[in-house]
Amino acid sequence: LIPYVVWEQVKGEEEEENALEVKETKVKGKSGKFFSVKLPSPLAPGAKVRVSVEMVFTHVLQPYPTHITQSEKQFVVFEGNHYFYSPYVTKSQTTRVKLASRNVESYTKLGNPSRTEDTIEYGPFKDIPPYSQDTLKVHYENNSPFLTITSMTRVIEVSHWGNIAVEETVDLKHTGAVLKGPFSRYDYQRQPDSGISSVKSFKTILPAAAQDVYYRDEIGNISTSHLLVLDDSVEMEIRPRFPLFGGWKTHYIIGYNLPSYEYLYNLGDQYALKMRFVDHVFDEQVTDSLTVKIVLPEGAKNIHVDSPYEINRASDELHYTYLDTFGRPVIVAHKSNLVEQHIQDIVVHYTFNKILMLQEPLLVVGAFYILFFTVIVYVRLDFSITKDPAAEARMKVACITEQVLTLVNKRLGLYRHFDEAVNKYKQSRDISTLNSGKKSLEMEHKALTSEIASLQSKLKTEGSDLCDKV
Amino acid sequence: VYFAGVMVRLMLTLTPVVCMLSAIAFSNVFERYLGDDMKRENPPIEDSSDEDDKRNPGNLYDKAGKVRKHVSEQEKTEEGLGPNIKNIVTMLMLMLLMMFAVHCTWVTSNAYSSPSVVLASYNHDGTRNILDDFREAYYWLRQNTDEHARVMSWWDYGYQIAGMANRTTLVDNNTWNNSHIALVGKAMSSNESAAYEIMRSLDVDYVLIIFGGVIGYSGDDINKFLWMVRIAEGEHPKDIRESDYFTPQGEFRVDKAGSPTLLNCLMYKMSYYRFGEMQLDFRTPPGFDRTRNAEIGNKDIKFKHLEEAFTSEHWLVRIYKVKQLDNRETLDHKPRVTNIVPKQKYLSKKTSKRKRGYIKNKLILKKGKRPNRKTV
């Protein structure tokens, strides 16, 4: 695990909010990483400016001894530089090393350092030439948890129906001194200082609106966790299934739902998703490799990603899930060596036609429609191989009787008309209208009766006894 | 019905029988109480519709009404059960059915479906305390042991280890190879050296046992131990005898009065390693086994070939690692010292003639001279 410069940030002393622009450069003939910083205003000769530089290194503390038993304390070695490695002359410099505990085994003594309880102060050194290096080595006790996330996968699934689902798969490993020998549960529970460098639990801070949080692994739900909902965040105290000693690893999956109105912004058809690239897992976290997958709804086009720092984008994939026809676009990004300072927002811009949102319900409706339609058609089809004469005759008879019924009903209607005409005559004593009405009615009556008679004869041919009833 | 009565777990075989019988009973009841209403009411309605003649509506309506009333009056006098009682009985039956469904779901969720992998206990204030020891230990095995490690345990946990811990086991729930299980049983019931030989021959890396003494779990391996002994005795009657593990009075005891074979066997040592120092509460002495309700006999346990690899939070699952053979085997006796200088120098009394290796009457030959023969 090579020490690696992970994070560089330069701030001007006056304006604490704004960070100055930092770019990586190269200097000919000298090894190491060089950065160029842009000052807010040009510096006049003889003028002074105060700058503060913050650098984070990972895997710099090496456990020494590398293997310890359960009852021993953990000691680490820090190797650094006494002087400030810069291309400029340093007039005066002090180095202060702040340690995690008071128990220091050994430290390099350059320039008579002074030592308080947990800090060692070297200096002040005067007039140091540029590019000067001198190894600083401190061997001290450090029992703070040395957890590393060896690999983490973060999947963010965006749905325009109002929900964003986030799932993180985390592989944790204890990278401190490796446990040698047996693990005694009795000592661990009864002796207070047994296994002090082991990790029992840690706190994960989730976004404030997180709901339906689940914490599980390959064999099921992990029951040892506590959720605390606060005003501005959701704190989850996670206890891995077993305490992590040196060299032990574990794996878990944590997931939650977020409302989309907090993270998804839109103007017409243009949408912007603003979410954190990596989220808080535990304080002062170190992630060796991270994969982020953002699943956008079907039909998202013109995808454009704005990230606050360099990320490696792999090619976009397609993800198929419920009610998908042509797959959802997935943005895949990788990054290695991340720390807590990398928790920043990443913005994804895309266009999405709002009509496409109807695609999902219409798909369901269409499926049911086809199903019912097929059933209706199928029921009415006749797949019999032989012609069954009796059944056919019955069907014909049924058809004819239906026709007879309609005619009889029409005749009944005629009677009603006749009744109405008679009533009118009673009221108006108009014989002529009565007679005309009567004639038309009688004509219709005759026509209907003849039709009924013809149908009756047809029935006779069929040989049915219904004609008698008629 | 017989099977369900024999073994509680086979209650499922009773289900179709009970369902059919109860369905017959309910349908009979409903038929009696609902069917009669419909039959009686149909005829009067039909009569009235037939008589509804459109030609002379006025008169006939009255007649139909009268007819209907007459029929219904007759009906009332004939039928013994009034509509009220029928309603009450129907409602009662429906309520009974609904309550039964609710009761069934509650009973099955509470009493019949406790997953034996996750143990739950309830505190005084009703909150649930979950003991997830099994999954803790299996997950530790899955993450922190070599992929090809072999785990020896009793066959009850074979499938669980294969499924959750993803490691090779020696014997599992598919108990078709009885002699193999007997070998495992023999290893568990012999003393450490003999068991180590068996474990080396089977190439075992880890040994897993269940120990319920801290929480009072009664399904642990010490309670199953006699079965291990019996199965081992079936295959190796000369090495394992069940009577060795009982006291002279014939009891199975784990305290000081227990049999010495039991107190020195591998299963006992693995279960109670470091347990003798543990005091669960101030009323009981250290090393008090809650399941057997006895203070254990052998408290000072030391292992020569095993090493404790992992114990779960409530000591339910204990995993031991089998150590490799030492590079050099230690001698049983003290090495012989060969550089002792004797205090006195002993002078032999034997003359040159009597010393060992001296040939009597040896013929001395000189070249050129005749040997003198004393005796011819």
Residue B264 lies in a domain: yes
CB of B142 within 8 Å of a chain A CB? The answer is: yes
Confidence (pLDDT) at A354: 85
CATH code at B257?
A: 3.40.50.12610
Compare all CA atoms of chain A with the CA of B132 and give the residue at the minimum distance: A223
Same domain, A13 and A131: no
Mean pLDDT score of chain A:
84
Residue B19 lies in a domain: yes
Same domain, A164 and A303: yes
Torsion sign across C-alpha atoms B183, B186, B188, B194: negative
* Chain B residues with beta carbon closer than 8 angstroms to that of A220: 135
CB of A268 within 8 Å of a chain B CB? The answer is: no
Mean pLDDT, residues B59-80: 44
Residue A446 lies in a domain: yes
CATH code at A283?
A: 2.60.40.1730
**Is residue B187's pLDDT more than 70?**
yes
What is the ipTM, given to two decimal places?
0.77
Other C-beta atoms lying within 10 Å of the C-beta of residue B172: 19
Same domain, A339 and A404: no
Same domain, B241 and B276: yes
DSSP string, B286-330: TTEETTTTEE-S------SSEEEEEE-TTS-EEEEEEPPPPSSPP
Residue A375 lies in a domain: no
Same domain, A137 and A179: no
Among A124-128, A188-192, A346-350, A423-427, which stretch is predicted with the lowest mean pLDDT?
A423-427
When pLDDT is cut at 50, 70 and 90, the band that residue B320 belongs to is: very high
Of B276, B303, B322, the residue that ends a domain is B322
| Chain B, window 147-176: residues with a beta carbon less than 8 angstroms from a chain A beta carbon | 163-164
Report CA-CA distances (Å) from B198 to A424, B183, B187, B230: 118, 8, 6, 18
Phi, psi of A166 (to 5 degrees): -115, 135
Residue A283 lies in a domain: yes
Same domain, B2 and B93: yes
Subunit contact A183:B130, Cβ cutoff 8 A: no
Same domain, B140 and B109: no
**Is residue B376's pLDDT more than 70?**
no
Same domain, A133 and A277: no
* Chain A residues with beta carbon closer than 8 angstroms to that of B144: 247-249
CB of B313 within 8 Å of a chain A CB? The answer is: yes
Whether residue B191 contacts residue B264, with contact meaning beta carbons closer than 8 Å, is answered with yes
Q: Helix B15-50 vs helix B83-107: angle between axes, to the nearest 10 degrees? A: 150
Give A405-447 pLDDT, tens digit per residue.
Answer: 887 788 788 888 888 878 887 887 777 777 777 788 788 878 8
Same domain, B238 and B310: yes
Phi, psi of B130 (to 5 degrees): -100, 130
**Is residue A280's pLDDT more than 70?**
yes
**Is residue A14's pLDDT more than 50?**
no
Same domain, A237 and A288: yes
CB of A185 within 8 Å of a chain B CB? The answer is: yes
Higher pLDDT, B76 or A102: A102
Same domain, A437 and A342: no
CB of B272 within 8 Å of a chain A CB? The answer is: no
Mean pLDDT, residues A447-458: 77
Report CA-CA distances (Å) from A370 to A29, A324, A360, A362, A377: 74, 18, 16, 12, 11
| pLDDT more than 70, % of chain B | 82
> Using CA atoms, how far apart are residues A145 and A48, in angstroms rounded to an integer?
41
Could you give the number of structural domains in chain B?
A: 2
- Cα end-to-end span (Å), chain B: 116
Mean pLDDT, residues B317-332: 86
Confidence (pLDDT) at A194: 84
Q: B53, B144, B274: which to substitute to probe chain A, counting the most A Cβ within 10 Å?
A: B144
Mean pLDDT score of chain B:
81
Could you give the number of structural domains in chain A?
A: 4
Same domain, B209 and B303: yes
Phi, psi of B321 (to 5 degrees): -100, 135
Contacts of B345 (CB under 8 A, 6+ apart): none
Residue A114 lies in a domain: yes
Report CA-CA distances (Å) from A184 to A53, A110, A189, B274, B278: 45, 43, 9, 8, 12
Of B300, B322, B344, the residue that ends a domain is B322
Same domain, A159 and A87: no
Using CB atoms, pick whichever of B163, B311, B321 lies closest to residue A185.
B311
> Using CA atoms, how far apart are residues B212 and B119, in angstroms rounded to an integer?
12
Determine which helix (DSSP H) or strand (DSSP E) holds A458, and give its type and residue range: helix A431-462
**Edge-to-edge strand list for the sheet holding A4-12:** A34-38, A19-25, A4-12, A51-58
> Using CA atoms, how far apart are residues B109 and B124, in angstroms rounded to an integer?
21
CB of B146 within 8 Å of a chain A CB? The answer is: no
**Is residue A151's pLDDT more than 90?**
yes
CB of A200 within 8 Å of a chain B CB? The answer is: no
**Edge-to-edge strand list for the sheet holding A104-107:** A62-63, A75-81, A135-141, A104-107
Q: Which of these, B175, B168, B172, lies nearest to B158 by C-alpha position?
A: B172
Same domain, A121 and A164: no
Higher pLDDT, B291 or A445: B291
**Is residue B28's pLDDT more than 90?**
no
* CA angle (A161, A166, A172) in 5-degree steps: 175
> Using CA atoms, how far apart are residues B367 and B345, in angstroms rounded to an integer?
40
Of B275, B307, B322, the residue that ends a domain is B322
Same domain, B96 and B154: no
Report CA-CA distances (Å) from A351 to A160, A271, A276, B375: 12, 6, 20, 135
* CA angle (A69, A74, A80) in 5-degree steps: 145
Confidence (pLDDT) at A22: 73
Using CB atoms, pick whichever of A186, A218, A224 lies closest to residue B274.
A186
Residue A316 lies in a domain: yes
Q: Which of these, A376, A402, A415, A396, lies nearest to A461 by C-alpha position?
A: A396
Among A47-51, A95-99, A267-271, which stretch is predicted with the lowest mean pLDDT?
A47-51
Same domain, B184 and B151: yes
**Is residue A148's pLDDT more than 50?**
yes
Determine which helix (DSSP H) or strand (DSSP E) holds A410, and give its type and residue range: helix A389-428
Using CB atoms, pick whichever of A183, A241, A250 lies closest to residue B135.
A241
DSSP string, B157-198: GHHHIIIII--EESS-SS---HHHHHHHHHHHHS-HHHHHHH
Residue B305 lies in a domain: yes
CB of B145 within 8 Å of a chain A CB? The answer is: no
Same domain, B21 and B89: yes
**Is residue A292's pLDDT more than 90?**
yes
Higher pLDDT, B126 or A99: A99
Whether residue A152 contacts residue A293, with contact meaning beta carbons closer than 8 Å, is answered with no
Residue A90 lies in a domain: yes
Q: State the residue range of the domain holding A163.
A: 147-360
Q: Is B293 left (phi over 0), alpha (psi -120 to 50) or beta?
A: left
Residue B296 lies in a domain: yes
When pLDDT is cut at 50, 70 and 90, the band that residue B143 belongs to is: very high
Residue B121 lies in a domain: no
**Is residue B46's pLDDT more than 70?**
no
Residue A236 lies in a domain: yes
Same domain, B176 and B97: no
Give A174-196 pLDDT, tens digit per residue.
Answer: 998 899 888 988 889 888 888 88
Phi, psi of A197 (to 5 degrees): -90, 10
**How near does any CA of chain B get to the CA of A232, in Å?**
28
Subunit contact B277:A186, Cβ cutoff 8 A: yes
**Is residue A59's pLDDT more than 90?**
no
When pLDDT is cut at 50, 70 and 90, the band that residue B113 belongs to is: low
Same domain, A169 and A126: no
Mean pLDDT, residues A146-158: 93
For residue A319, list its beta bridge partners: A328
Confidence (pLDDT) at B40: 44
Alpha helices per DSSP H over A318-358: none
Confidence (pLDDT) at A406: 83
**How near does any CA of chain B get to the CA of A239, in Å?**
11
CB of B309 within 8 Å of a chain A CB? The answer is: yes
Same domain, A249 and A303: yes
Compare all CA atoms of chain A with the CA of B280 and give the residue at the minimum distance: A190
Same domain, B109 and B190: no
Confidence (pLDDT) at A158: 92
CB of B307 within 8 Å of a chain A CB? The answer is: yes
Q: State the residue range of the domain holding B94.
A: 1-39+83-113
Residue B25 lies in a domain: yes
Subunit contact A184:B321, Cβ cutoff 8 A: no
Whether residue B9 contacts residue B33, with contact meaning beta carbons closer than 8 Å, is answered with no
* Chain B residues with beta carbon closer than 8 angstroms to that of A182: 307-309, 321
Report CA-CA distances (Å) from A193 to A175, A188, A190, A242, A243: 20, 8, 9, 18, 14
> Using CA atoms, how far apart are residues A149 and A173, in angstroms rounded to an integer?
6
Confidence (pLDDT) at B359: 78
Residue A259 lies in a domain: yes
Compare all CA atoms of chain A with the CA of B303 and give the residue at the minimum distance: A182
Report CA-CA distances (Å) from B156 to B176, B209, B225: 13, 10, 12
Among A43-47, A164-168, A262-266, which stretch is predicted with the lowest mean pLDDT?
A43-47
* Chain B residues with beta carbon closer than 8 angstroms to that of A223: 118, 130, 132
Residue B344 lies in a domain: no
When pLDDT is cut at 50, 70 and 90, the band that residue B15 belongs to is: confident
Compare all CA atoms of chain B with the CA of A218 and give the residue at the minimum distance: B164
Residue B235 lies in a domain: yes
Same domain, A309 and A398: no
> Using CA atoms, how far apart are residues A434 and A418, in angstroms rounded to an integer?
9
Count residue pairs from A and B with Cβ separation < 8 A.
Answer: 60
* Chain A residues with beta carbon closer than 8 angstroms to that of B130: 223
